């Protein structure tokens, strides 16, 4: 960046702060003093003043002064991520270059090259977010690229997104859903991969609160109701351990935090169990104060297992073999004398800081060998996954990348004993690509623990893997379903694309020969118009179909000849498949919002409407569910539950079609709902269940599907309900039937 004279128009030195500004600046300085190792207070106050003056008069959606936002981001960076004062300064000014008259040259002259470089990175990322024509995937790739240059850029972006999520309630509902979906799909997984677990957990909960507010409130209430019982149990569990640790001279801290709300919800969904049957709702963490070493963690483990029985399959040693993000801890699950399972984590204070703050903590310890090596691994990893990404494969890149972010890890070894970390479910093919791209391309066989093993077989923890290679590329397109790492998937897709290009080139050659024979001359632009009428996305797609024999080149000759003679191609396009124009989408939205009817169930933008709508079969919304609308290509509105998996895809790909909808007060019709019942298999159980529905609740049942095994049964009852409260009453009554163990809404 070239150093030029500053052009800023703000009198920073002569500015006299008003009481509110002074109060906010003093608060930020106090936070920095408390959490940062070093602080240039004068420079932070100078940045605060420029932030205040440059954003003066601008308001946020909440109506608050805009400068509140960069100040809040700076406080997050100082207290929750804890980087350095340079990052605090950059946080205060992160929106100035994009939104005000302040230039990067101004920043460099006033605050130095480091601050200017960080703000430049944050600005470039933010600029991409505002482009409606730029796909989210490309934004995500850009975010990773900036991290490879300076990790502080990404850490500030995390703080920026965290504050935006904390204040998201001030935005329109459809905008909230778009931002929350993007955050839970991209930012939360990336925070997980970078070890920023506090930020990742809060982002997930904030997104969950937006996407599925009813479930969020339900789990929050249940956690509050159980808080006293939970705290009493933790105290009882730790009492003998605390005494033993103190007697042996340990200095320690004990935390018994409940697991965050979204993780509990995911566990309920994954296990198909109600809240009451999810027992590991919290983990007890024993943190040894420095200067305790990692060897002491094992001594603590020994004390715990002297008092409580460990479950061998639930033991994980992340101290000897840390996770890829540097996470270290001992994990064990033990059983109390009352038969209750308890997860215990044991770590030192430094390990805990790294576990809480991940990448930021490694940056703090970058002067140490361990911290420096971990940072180098992060940067190498980012550059590796971004190795020659193709613009046309951005969406595939993110899809693969997200899978790798959340997957558990396994540890395998090379024949020389070198440890390699791979996602769970990895095969020898993934291992080969992890070693080197050429090894993966030429792999023909594998030996696992000395035995010949199929390349597609999944690896286990501790396997020793040897790859046997040939002299030529041996890539198989079918491998795409057998690999889990981005590196392997990317190279296989690239290979498939190359093959497709070859076939497309052959198809083009066939066409050109046929065109020449029939004396047809047509420009590429005209040909593109023709193939669009034939419902092909591109000439490449058409030529590929011709090359592999799926399309008849004679038909193309006929259509092109017709186009050349008439100047058009007459192809019938069914009305329901015709894409809506932007104008039609807007008109549908406006008409839906303005149309009023007294007996409809759908409300758009706060008004009852008579627009045509229907309920999505994928999620079967019921009055009381949080819902959104999606304008279909024929102009009607499809109603989904806001937590429907399909909704996330729709928001990502067609966000402009989302409309804010809610239920009318008096609907007057019934809806299909389903509950799953698990219990003891006994005589007359089905009769008792159906009696509750028909006699006690006067509820009509559509179907019942029951399976029994080893004295237990599972039944799915599909019923007609008025609303979510009606469904809740049904579940409450069914739970009281003798022998019933659990009842919950069936997804």
CATH number of the domain enclosing 708: 3.30.70.260
Give mean pLDDT, residues 255-275. Answer: 83
Q: Say whether both 565 and 613 belong to one domain.
A: no
Residue 368: predicted pLDDT: 63
Paired strand residues for 661: 604
Give mean pLDDT, residues 399-413. Answer: 64
Residue 31: predicted pLDDT: 94
Of the candidate ranges 24-38, 151-165, 477-491, the one whose mean pLDDT is the lowest: 477-491
Active site residue 99: yes
Q: Active-site residue among 20, 41, 85, 99?
A: 99
Q: How confident is the model at residue 400 (pLDDT cuts 50, 70, 90)?
A: low
Residue 189 lies in a domain: no
Report percent pLDDT > 90 for the chain. 17
Paired strand residues for 286: 254, 346
User: Which of the residue ranges 240-244, 417-421, 637-641, 708-712 has the most confident prediction, judged by mean pLDDT?
Assistant: 240-244
Of the candidate ranges 126-130, 164-168, 476-480, the one whose mean pLDDT is the lowest: 126-130
Each residue of 469-509: pLDDT tens digit? 888 888 888 888 888 887 888 888 888 888 888 888 888 88
Q: Active-site residue among 41, 64, 75, 98?
A: 98
Is 421 in a helix, a strand, or coil? Answer: strand
Residue 4: predicted pLDDT: 45
Residue 240 lies in a domain: yes
Residue 193 lies in a domain: no
Residue 381: predicted pLDDT: 60
Residue 1: predicted pLDDT: 46
Active site residue 599: no
Per the structure block, which two tokens stand in for 242? Answer: 């605390």
Residue 640 lies in a domain: yes
CB-hemisphere CA count at 13 Å for 35? 23
Give mean pLDDT, residues 504-533. Answer: 80
Give mean pLDDT, residues 415-436. Answer: 87
Q: Say whether both 255 and 124 belong to one domain.
A: no
Q: How confident is the model at residue 69 (pLDDT cuts 50, 70, 90)?
A: very high
Give mean pLDDT, residues 90-101. Answer: 89
Q: How confident is the model at residue 331 (pLDDT cuts 50, 70, 90)?
A: very high
Say if CB 532 and CB 540 are below 8 A apart: no
Report percent pLDDT > 70 for the chain. 80
**Does the structure show a pLDDT above 60 at 377?**
yes
What phi-psi label fits residue 605: left (phi over 0), alpha (psi between -120 and 50 degrees) or beta?
left
388 or 657, which is more confident: 657
Per the structure block, which two tokens stand in for 37? Answer: 């190792």
Residue 599: predicted pLDDT: 41
**Does the structure show a pLDDT above 70 at 302?**
yes
Q: Say whether both 545 and 642 belong to one domain.
A: no
Q: Say whether both 53 and 130 belong to one domain.
A: yes
Q: Say whether both 643 and 695 belong to one domain.
A: no
Contacts of 93 (CB under 8 A, 6+ apart): 47, 50, 51, 70, 102, 107, 111, 115, 119
Strands (E), 209-340: 252-258, 282-288, 309-310, 316-317, 330-335
Residue 424 lies in a domain: no
576 or 621, which is more confident: 621
Give mean pLDDT, residues 416-434. Answer: 86
Q: How confident is the model at residue 380 (pLDDT cuts 50, 70, 90)?
A: low
474 or 696, which is more confident: 474
Q: Say whether both 708 and 598 belong to one domain.
A: no
166 or 194, which is more confident: 166
Q: Say whether both 652 and 676 belong to one domain.
A: no
**Does the structure show a pLDDT above 70 at 685?**
yes
Q: How confident is the model at residue 570 (pLDDT cuts 50, 70, 90)?
A: low
**Does the structure show a pLDDT above 90 at 76?**
yes
Residue 289: predicted pLDDT: 86
Q: Say whether both 597 and 659 belong to one domain.
A: yes
**Does the structure show a pLDDT above 70 at 50?**
yes
Q: Say whether both 44 and 99 belong to one domain.
A: yes
Last residue of a domain, which of 544, 571, 598?
571
Q: How many domains does the chain have?
A: 5
**Does the structure show a pLDDT above 70 at 577?**
no
Q: Say whether both 73 and 42 belong to one domain.
A: yes
**Does the structure show a pLDDT above 70 at 574?**
no
Residue 374: predicted pLDDT: 62
Last residue of a domain, which of 571, 597, 614?
571
CA distance 458 to 383: 26
CA distance 56 to 300: 55
CATH number at residue 117: 1.10.3210.10
User: Which of the residue ranges 213-217, 561-565, 627-631 has the most confident prediction, judged by mean pLDDT?
Assistant: 213-217
**Does the structure show a pLDDT above 80 at 223?**
yes
**Does the structure show a pLDDT above 60 at 406?**
no
Q: How confident is the model at residue 133 (pLDDT cuts 50, 70, 90)?
A: very low
Shortest CA distance to 718 belongs to which of 742, 698, 693?
693
Q: Say whether both 226 and 355 belong to one domain.
A: yes
Residue 241: predicted pLDDT: 92
Residue 688: predicted pLDDT: 86
Residue 437 lies in a domain: no
CA distance 667 to 623: 8
Compute the mean pLDDT over every residue in the chain, rounded to the nearest whole number.
79
> pTM for the complete prediction?
0.68
What phi-psi label fits residue 674: left (phi over 0), alpha (psi between -120 and 50 degrees) or beta?
beta
Q: Say whether both 554 and 605 belong to one domain.
A: no
649 or 83, which is more confident: 83
Residue ranges making up the domain that contains 735: 671-745
Residue 385 lies in a domain: no
Residue 699 lies in a domain: yes
Residue 244: predicted pLDDT: 92
Radius of gyration of the chain (CA): 30
Last residue of a domain, which of 571, 590, 614?
571
Each residue of 459-470: pLDDT tens digit? 988 889 999 988
CA distance 172 to 59: 16
């Amino acid at each position: 960046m070239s150093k030029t004279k500053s052009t800023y128009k703000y009198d920073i030195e002569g500015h006299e702060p008003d009481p509110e500004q002074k109060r906010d600046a003093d608060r930020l300085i106090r936070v920095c003093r408390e959490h940062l190792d070093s602080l240039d207070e004068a420079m932070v106050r100078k940045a605060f003043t420029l932030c205040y003056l440059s954003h003066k008069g601008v308001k946020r959606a909440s109506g608050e002064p805009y400068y509140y936002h960069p100040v809040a981001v700076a406080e997050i960076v100082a207290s929750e991520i804890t980087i350095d004062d340079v990052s605090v300064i950059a946080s205060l000014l992160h929106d100035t270059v994009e939104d005000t008259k302040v230039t990067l040259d101004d920043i460099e002259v006033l605050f130095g090259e480091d601050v200017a470089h960080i703000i430049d990175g944050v600005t470039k990322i933010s600029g991409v977010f505002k482009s409606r024509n730029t796909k989210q995937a490309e934004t995500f790739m850009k975010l990773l690229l900036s991290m490879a240059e300076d990790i502080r850029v990404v850490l500030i972006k995390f703080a920026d997104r965290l504050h935006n999520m904390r204040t998201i309630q001030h935005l329109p509902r459809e905008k909230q859903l778009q931002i929350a979906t993007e955050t839970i799909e991209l930012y939360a997984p990336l925070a997980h991969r970078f070890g920023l677990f506090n930020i990742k957990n809060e982002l997930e909960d904030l997104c969950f609160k937006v996407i599925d507010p009813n479930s969020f409130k339900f789990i929050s209430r249940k956690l509050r109701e159980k808080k006293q019982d939970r705290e009493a149990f933790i105290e009882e569990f730790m009492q003998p351990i605390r005494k033993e640790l103190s007697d042996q001279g340990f200095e320690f801290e004990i935390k018994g935090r409940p697991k965050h709300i979204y993780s509990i919800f995911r566990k309920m969904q994954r296990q198909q169990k109600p809240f009451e049957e999810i027992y590991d709702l919290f983990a007890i963490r024993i943190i040894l104060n420095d200067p305790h070493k990692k060897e002491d963690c094992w001594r603590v483990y020994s004390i715990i297992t002297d008092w409580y029985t460990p479950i061998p399959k639930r033991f994980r040693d992340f101290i000897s073999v840390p996770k890829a993000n540097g996470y270290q801890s001992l994990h064990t699950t033990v059983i109390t004398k009352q038969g209750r399972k308890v997860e215990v984590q044991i770590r030192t204070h430094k390990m805990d800081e790294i576990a809480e703050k991940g990448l930021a903590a490694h940056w703090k310890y970058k002067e140490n060998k361990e911290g420096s090596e971990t940072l180098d691994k992060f940067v190498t990893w980012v550059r590796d996954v971004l190795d020659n990404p193709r613009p046309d494969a951005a969406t595939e890149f993110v899809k693969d990348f997200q899978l790798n972010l959340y997957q558990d890890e396994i540890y395998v070894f090379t024949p020389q004993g070198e440890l390699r970390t791979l996602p769970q479910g990895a095969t020898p093919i993934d291992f080969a690509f992890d070693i080197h791209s050429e090894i993966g391309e030429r792999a023909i066989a594998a030996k696992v623990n000395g035995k010949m093993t199929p390349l597609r077989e999944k690896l286990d923890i501790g396997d020793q893997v040897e790859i046997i290679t040939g002299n030529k590329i041996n890539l198989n397109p079918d491998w795409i379903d057998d690999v889990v790492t981005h590196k392997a998937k990317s190279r296989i897709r690239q290979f498939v694309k190359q093959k497709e290009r070859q076939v497309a080139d052959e198809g083009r050659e066939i066409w050109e020969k046929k065109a020449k024979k029939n004396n047809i001359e047509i420009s590429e632009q005209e040909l593109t118009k023709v193939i669009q009428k034939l419902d092909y996305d591109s000439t490449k797609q058409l030529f590929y179909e011709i090359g592999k024999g799926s399309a008849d080149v004679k038909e193309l000759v006929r259509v092109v000849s017709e186009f050349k003679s008439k100047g058009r191609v007459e192809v019938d396009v069914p009305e329901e498949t015709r894409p809506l124009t932007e104008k039609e989408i807007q008109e549908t939205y406006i008409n839906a919002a303005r149309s009023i009817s007294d007996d409809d169930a759908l409300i758009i933008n706060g008004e009852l409407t008579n627009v045509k709508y229907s309920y999505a079969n994928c999620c079967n919304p019921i009055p009381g569910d949080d819902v959104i609308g999606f304008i279909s290509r024929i102009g009607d509105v499809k109603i989904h539950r806001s937590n429907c998996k399909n909704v996330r895809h729709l928001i990502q790909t067609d966000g402009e079609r989302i409309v804010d909808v809610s239920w009318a007060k008096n609907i007057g019709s019934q809806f299909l709902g389903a509950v799953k019942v698990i219990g003891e298999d006994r005589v007359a159980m089905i009769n008792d269940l159906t009696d509750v529905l028909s006699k006690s609740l006067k509820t009509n049942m559509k179907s019942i599907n029951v399976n029994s095994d080893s004295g237990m049964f599972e039944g799915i009852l599909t019923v007609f309900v008025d609303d979510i409260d009606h469904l809740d009453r049904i579940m409450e009554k069914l739970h009281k039937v003798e022998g019933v163990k659990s009842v919950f809404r069936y997804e």
